[in-house]
Amino acid sequence: QSFKLLGFLDVKSVPCARESVLYGSLGSLVVGLGHFLATSRVRRSCDFAVGGFICTMLGYWFYCRYNLAQQRIRQRMLKEGMRNKILFEGSSFDPEKKQTGNERSNS
């Protein structure tokens, strides 16, 4: 069963959404409770808790999405390298193939 946050963010299918909401909730609790213990002002502490939720959630969202993009780039490069290895293995374009003196004179 999927869970939609604010009616449009499907937490189950969107990468990094679940972790962002969980870390945002934890950040909200820490910031709100910390502010309440420091000042004993309930309304202001709730405001800080909401701000903490938004900042923590967005911060982790961007961090997670950046890492996901980096991982996809590395996977794409690895896939391309494996495809090139399979294509050029044993041919004259193979970078791992050692050229002997006879092959150099022929080329």
pTM over 0.75: no
pLDDT at 9: 67
pLDDT at 12: 73
Identify which has the larger pLDDT, 75 or 10. 75
Q: Measure the CA–CA gap between 31 and 50, rounded to whole angstroms.
A: 9
Domain ranges for the chain, please list them: 15-86
Mean pLDDT calculated for residue range 26-51: 95
- Percent of the chain having pLDDT more than 70? 78
Tokens 């961090």 belong to residue? 63
Residue 7 has pLDDT above 90, yes or no: no
pLDDT in tens, 46-62: 999 999 999 999 999 99
Task: Give every CB contact of residue 88 below 8 A, 6+ residues apart in sequence.
Answer: 94, 95
Count Cβ atoms below 10 Å from residue 19 Cβ, excluding itself. Answer: 15
Q: Measure the CA–CA gap between 70 and 66, rounded to whole angstroms.
A: 6
pLDDT at 107: 53
